Structure 1
Amino acid sequence: MQQKLFYILFIFASVISYGQVNLFMESDKTDYNGKDIVNLTIILELNGVDLEPQTRFQLPDLSKFTIIGSGSVTNTVIDPATNTLITQKVTRIALEPKKKGKVKIGSVLVTVNNKIYKTEPFDVNIKDIIEKRSLATNMASEMYLNMEIEDREVYQDQPTIAVLRVYSKNMDNFRKVKDVRLPHQDNINVHAISMSKSEIDPSGAGNMASQTLAVFMVFPNEAGYVEVSSVSASVSSYANKNKIVSNKVKLNVKKLPEGSPECFKNAVGNFSVNVYNASKDKIEVEKPIHVIVKVSGEGNLPDMYIPKILASPDYEVFSPKITSKVAPGTTGMKGEMFANYVLIPKKSGAISIQTEQFAFFDPASREYVDLGQETLALNAFSHDQILESRTTVEKVNEYTNTLLETVNTPVLKTTTFKVKEKSKFHWNILLTNIAILVGLFLVYLLFKTWQKKRALVRETASPKPLGSVAETEKEIRETLKTDINDYFSYLENLKDNGDYPKFFDTLEEMDLEVRNQYFKSSSEEFRTFLESHKGSSVAEEYRNLLQRIQMEKYSPLKSAEGMDELLKAVVNLYSRISK
């Protein structure tokens, strides 16, 4: 009899252990401050193969909290001692309390095999809750600011939209609100969408009218719980000036998924990269060119890292000048970012310019996209190759430009008629040049005729000895010579005033005047002349100075120290050449 009773108890114990369901909920602690997050953990444990949940977790009334994040995970193991399948489902919910005091959290319900299971309710104590609005002392009952962010669960560097509204019982107060200041903090980037006031909505919360003051995007740049600081505004009246601040909002910022490419930095959105040469002329060795790296798309465009141009022995690259053309979009800031690089080719022939590898995270597909490298193929020419490739029309244009620069007068600034190099032939340009030459020739004939008439009226003067060819050349050179010190003083004033474009234009004008003293129209001819008469060291110093002037002229960033050193080098060299 005792043996039979033992078998019966054993069978009942097996049945109970075979189909056991455990459901419970707990919080991480019982007492919370106003800034703390209430973390709830719900665990459903099923011991048996025939147990299956028929419904999801039915949460209790959480209206006294704001749900800012949730997540679930399911684990399945086999108990080796009893050979029983154990399924465990864990759900975590992050809550932000709205009110202080003792708050009761009700039961969680779930149905398993047509049977309802529930957890035991419990209380949590909320102390020193931060109110949703902070009011000016003398206007606490009249108006307040409220910052609203609907999507509080985003990825790192993914934007969320924030709306700032002001509420007031007196509509006359809305015109007094000015100087809205958006939050500034290290763990978020804020970009304004609209800072203009909307129409007044008379049907606001609590019988108070409302008005939208600002709409802006918030880009959290770190994972975890990120708190967006309050937005402030001033309320001005005839008597005094008050300051009101809005509530703070906490965001649940999800960390970006693992498996990112090595070249990924912080680009989140959808982008494309393009590299192109902004210079229109032929590429010449040792002459600067502009290469643009353009990143276009939508996302955290103003705050992301733009891929750089890799260094190479084939060219010299300088720090870029960053410009942007962005506007608010639907999923971030939309537009284009430009990195303007100044490059100087070091060799002739084919040159390959490569950028860094670039990758971004697309929140829509939740995947990383690796765009790789962008390559720009260029072909550089030497100075002799540039001269040989010019057509007859281009040579005529060059000679015409040289003549216009040489005979420039204060009455007619003929340098404005300089002909730019074009890729195709234009008859209008050629006819204009011919007309200018014919006009100059007629002016010359009229001038000679006037001189002859004047010579007939004057008394015949005694002839002056002509002298030798060397003396005549020296006399002409002294006539054409310009006081170089006037240029030095003018350049010093331009440098001190920071007028760098006029500074470099004056340098070119001074160089032209000095070359005209020796009847040399181009810098190459003048350098050959210096090598023959002044020595190879002076000619090399002249070539290096011209190259340095070009580098400083096209450099996006100019320092006062660098301009001082450049002016000293110019004064030193041109003082010796002009003697």
Structure 2
Amino acid sequence: MQQKIIYILFILSSVISYGQVSINVNPDKNDYTGKDVVNLTIVLEMNGSEYNQQTPIRLPDLSKFNIIGSGSVNNTYVDPATNTVITQRVSQLALEPKQKGKIKIGSVLVTVNNKIYKTEPFDILVKEVDKRSASSASNEVYLNMEIDDKDIYQDQPTVAVLKAYSKNMDNFRKVKNIHLPQQDNINVHPISFVKSEIDPSSSYGNMASQVLAVFMVFPNAAGYVEVPAVSASVSSYSNKNKIISNRVKLNVRKLPEGSPECFKNAVGNFNVSIYNASKEKVEIKKPINVVVKVTGEGNLSDMELPKIAESPDYEIFTPKITSAVAPGTTGIKGEILASYILIPKKAGDINVKTEQFAFFNPANKEYVDLGQETLALNAFSHDQIMDSKTTVEKVNEYTNNFLETVNTPVLKTTSFKVKEKGKFHWNILLTNMAILLALFVAYLLFKTWQKKRTLVKESVPSKSLGSVAETENEIRQSLKTDINDYFSYLENLKDNEDYHKFFQTIDEMDTEVRKEYFQSSTEDFRRFLESYKGSAMAEEYRNLSQKIQMEKYAPVKSPEGMDQLLKAIVNLYSQISK
């Protein structure tokens, strides 16, 4: 009898265990920090071959997270004890919290055999990031890098803000030498290094905060991308410490499928045009300047530009790239010019075409194919061009060639070149003849003045050598640089945006000023200023030298920043040269 009861209980337990559906969700832990990744494991188990999963697993509202990764695996096996088919589906999600505090994760739903199964909702706690952990060498100033938009497309920019936190507001002026992150899978372009006003109250304890830098990050690879830390130095009279910020994880989405064949890596909104920059008539076997212009906003500084397509009708050379760009709201905006030297090989009509160009517009989430741009040229032979010119035009051309080759330091004659006109102008011809006569007279006067100057030098008696102090003063006066000439030249270079020559002239001016005081290196000159001009001027000279180096190697130079830099240079070097 007892054996029968045991057998019946065994049968009942088999029936109860046969044909069950269970679903559950388990986080890897309950408490997280803002830098942690929340890992959720979803397990759906069906015991019995008669169960059919009718819907995929439906996730709850995860808008408070960035989904940075997911994966799933299916397992099916037979329980040898009960001869039951067991199907198990395991899914995992990697989530990044967007906010701090208590976050509720709702129920996960699935429909099996017309019945809905769900899990119980639960809460997780996300704590504030301890910004002190971002510091490596200083226990007084902390850096924190903040990026709001962490879910972007490949080659789409996101804005990063670097903030400093400290209980002592005086520490903010000690933070210098900011180095932006560098990594192969991201491109970084600075927006501003101008420090903001100090915020006395921040979200982290009783610390004050200040924005130190704003920059754009362009991820050039899809997937899970981590932006490296930003480093800076905290300088004081006693020591110099290095501090680093936190790292930020980005979820970089892959660009949608269905891109045109001509699409490369342009993300944003762009236009392409082509034009002939040469004003002369197009002549075969003579070079002309053809420009491909790309305007718009996006990854303008990093994208691959459309080239001029090759053709047997002309020969092209490697272009010179010039750009006028600035940070915008959705990327780098402005224009980039590719100037090609093109030599026609035949006379007649020539069509110069660009390569096909397409870009992805993240605002509309679609690809835009601009196709090809065409420039129509009409090339002439040398005989055709000479036959089309009048006698007056030939005279003017000869005069222009003479003025180009005979240029003097007294008068820049190339500015008097004759422009081609449709009719004859006597006043232009007379002006050219007057210029030639004036040049000849100026040459004679210059020779006469030079002879008189030589005679005066010979008649002047030799002066006494004088004392050592007088001799040193004379040497210093002879070496003294007219600093105002440098200031005017730097102003012209800044207005013309010739920044390479601008910084080269600054180095030349600094060398000349140091020679006045017989100092060979900047460090010796700084110690000289500290001894004879005061420590405040020496510190200002050191800070200006660092600022010049930062602006010199910055990928994007703003007109406002260059204006401020020039004002600082004029102010400091004017005081030094007094």
TM-score normalised to structure 2 length:
0.59
Paired position in structure 2 for 1:305: 304
Match 1:198 to one of 173, 196, 199: 196
Residue of structure 1 equivalent to 2:460: none
Against the structure 1 CA distance between its residues 28 and 362, is the aligned structure 2 distance closer, same or farther, given a 3 Å change threshold? farther
- In structure 1, what is the Cα distance between the partners aligned to 2:66 and 2:207? 27
What residue number does 1:433 align with? 429
AA partner of residue 276 (structure 1) = Y
2:185 — aligned with what? 187
Who is 1:331 aligned against? 330
Matched-pair contact (CA < 8 Å) for 1:405–1:414: no
- State the shift of 1:311 in Å: 1.3
Q: Secondary structure at the match of 2:330?
A: coil
User: In the aligned structure 1, how far is the partner of 2:34 from the partner of 2:182?
Assistant: 22
Helix, strand or coil at the partner of 1:353: strand
1:275 and 2:274 aligned: yes
**Offset of residue 214 of structure 1:** 0.5
388-397 vs 315-324, which deviates more? 388-397
Q: Which amino acid aligns with 1:364?
A: A
Cα distance in structure 2, aligned partners of 1:110 and 1:234:
48
Are 2:400 and 2:418, in contact at CA under 8 Å, matched by a contact in 1? no
Residues in 1 aligned to 2:33 and 2:437: alpha-carbon distance in whole angstroms: 94
1: CA distance, partners of 2:412 / 2:148: 65
Deviation at 1:210, TM superposition (A): 0.1
Aligned residue for 2:369?
A: 370
**Partner AA of 1:363 in structure 2:** P
Q: Per the alignment, in what secondary structure is the counterpart of residue 289 of structure 2? A: strand
Residue of structure 2 aligned with 1:143, choices 114, 129, 141: 141
**C-alpha displacement of 1:397:** 1.6
Q: SS at 2:301's partner residue?
A: helix
The verdict on how the C-alpha distance between 1:374 and 1:251 changes in structure 2, with shifts beyond 3 A counting, is same
- In 1, Cα distance between equivalents of 2:292 and 2:417: 31
**Matches of 1:175 and 1:33, distance apart in 2:** 30
1:104: how far off? Answer: 12
Residues 350 and 378 in structure 1, CA contact (< 8 A), matched pair in contact too: yes
Q: Which residue of 2 aligns with 1:421?
A: 419
Q: Tell me how far 1:57 sits from its aligned partner.
A: 2.2
Gaps of 5+ in 1: 1-12, 74-87, 445-579
Pick closer, same or farther for the CA change 1:168–1:253 going to 2, 3 Å: same
Contact 1:134 1:244 in 2 (8 A): no
Report how far residue 192 of structure 1 moved. 0.5
Tell whether 2:269 aligns with 1:234.
no
1:174–1:285 Cα change, 3 Å: same
Quote the Cα distance in structure 2 between the aligned partners of 1:149 and 1:440: 66
CA contact (8 A) 2:148 2:159 kept: yes
1:202 alignment partner, SS class: coil
Q: Distance in 2 between matches of 1:168 and 1:250?
A: 25
Q: Which amino acid in the other structure matches residue 94 of structure 2? A: A
Could you tell me which residue of structure 1 aligns to residue 9 of structure 2?
none
Q: Is the 8 A contact 2:33 2:129 kept in 1?
A: no
2:223 maps to a residue whose letter is G
CA offsets 1:427-464 (integer angstroms, 9 cap, x no match): 4xx313225547979999xxxxxxxxxxxxxxxxxxxx
CA contact (8 A) 1:233 1:245 kept: yes
How far did 1:322 drift?
Answer: 1.1
The aligned residue for residue 285 of structure 1 is: 284
Q: Percent identity?
A: 61
Q: Which residue of 2 aligns with 1:118?
A: 119
Corresponding residue of 1:24: 24
Aligned to 1:467: none
- Equivalent-residue separation in structure 2 for 1:150 and 1:223 (angstroms): 18
8 Å CA contact retained: 1:269, 1:360: yes
- State the Cα deviation string for residues 360-418 of structure 1 (Å, max 9, x = none): 11111111111111111101111111111113431332344467689x69798695475
Q: Secondary structure at the match of 2:428?
A: helix
Amino acid at match of 2:224: Y
**Distance in 2, Cα, partners of 1:117 & 1:414:** 87
- In the alignment, the residues of structure 2 paired with residue 153 and residue 443 of structure 1 have an alpha-carbon distance, to the nearest angstrom, of 69
Matched-pair contact (CA < 8 Å) for 1:133–1:246: no
Distance in 1, matches of 2:167 and 2:409, equals: 71
Q: 1:106 to 1:215 in 2, by over 3 A?
A: closer
Per-residue CA shift, 1:448-506, capped at 9, x if unaligned? Answer: xxxxxxxxxxxxxxxxxxxxxxxxxxxxxxxxxxxxxxxxxxxxxxxxxxxxxxxxxxx
Does residue 162 of structure 1 match 2:147? no
User: Which amino acid is 1:390 matched to?
Assistant: K
Partner residue, 1:152: 150
CA contact (8 A) 1:107 1:118 kept: no
Distance 1:157 1:201 in 2: 33
CA distance in 1, matches of 2:357, 2:194: 37
Give the secondary-structure state (helix, strand or coil) at the position aligned to 2:351: strand
Q: Secondary structure at the match of 1:297?
A: strand
> Helix, strand or coil: the match of 1:365?
coil
Post-superposition Cα deviations, 1:241-298, rounded to whole Å, max 9, x if no partner, equal: 1110000111111111111111111001111111111101111111111111111111
User: Deviation of residue 143 (structure 1)?
Assistant: 1.7
Over 3 Å counting, the alpha-carbon distance change for 1:135 and 1:70 in structure 2 is closer
Native 8 Å contact 1:404 1:415 kept in 2: yes
One-letter amino acid of the structure 2 residue matched with residue 160 of structure 1 = T
Residues 68 and 96 of structure 2 are in contact (CA less than 8 Å); yes or no, is this contact kept in structure 1? no
| Residue identity matched to 1:254 | R
2:25 & 2:401 partners in 1: Cα distance?
90
CA–CA distance in structure 1, aligned partners of residues 157 and 420 of structure 2:
47
Superposition deviation, residue 356 in structure 1: 1.0
1:422 CA displacement: 2.6
Question: Any idea what SS the aligned residue of 2:205 has?
Answer: helix
| Aligned match of 1:57 | 60
> What is the alpha-carbon distance in structure 2 between the residues aligned to residue 395 and residue 300 of structure 1?
49
Deviation at 1:94, TM superposition (A): 2.4
Residue type of the alignment partner of 2:25? M
SS in 2 for 1:369: strand
Distance 1:272 1:153 in 2: 26
Distance in 2, matches of 1:186 and 1:33, equals 28
| 2:387 alignment partner in structure 1 | 388
Task: From the superposition, tell whether residues 238 and 327 of structure 1 become closer, same or farther in structure 2 (CA, over 3 Å).
Answer: same
User: Could you tell me which residue of structure 2 aligns to residue 225 of structure 1?
Assistant: 224
Task: Flag the structure with larger Rg.
Answer: 1
Q: Distance in 2 between matches of 1:386 and 1:179?
A: 60
Letter of the structure 1 residue corresponding to residue 162 of structure 2: L
Provide, for residues 300-353 of structure 1, a one-character-per-residue CA deviation record: whole Å limited to 9, x for no partner: 000000011111111110001111111111111111111111111111111111
* CA–CA distance in structure 2, aligned partners of residues 186 and 442 of structure 1: 62
Amino acid at match of 1:167: Y
The secondary structure found in structure 2 opposite 1:184 is: coil
State whether residues 135 and 245 of structure 2, in contact with CA within 8 Å, keep that contact through their aligned partners in structure 1: no
Pairwise CA distance, 1:42: 4.7
The corresponding residue for 1:108 is: 106
Change (3 A) 1:33 1:400: closer
CA gap of 1:336–1:45, structure 2 versus 1, over 3 A, is farther
Larger CA deviation: 430-439 vs 246-255: 430-439
Q: Which residue of 2 aligns with 1:208?
A: 207
The residue type equivalent to 2:303 in the other structure is M
| Structure 2 unaligned residues grouped into runs of 5+ | 1-14, 72-87, 441-578
Residue type of the alignment partner of 2:429: N
- Summarize the Cα distance change of 1:92–1:390 in structure 2 as closer, same or farther, 3 Å threshold: farther
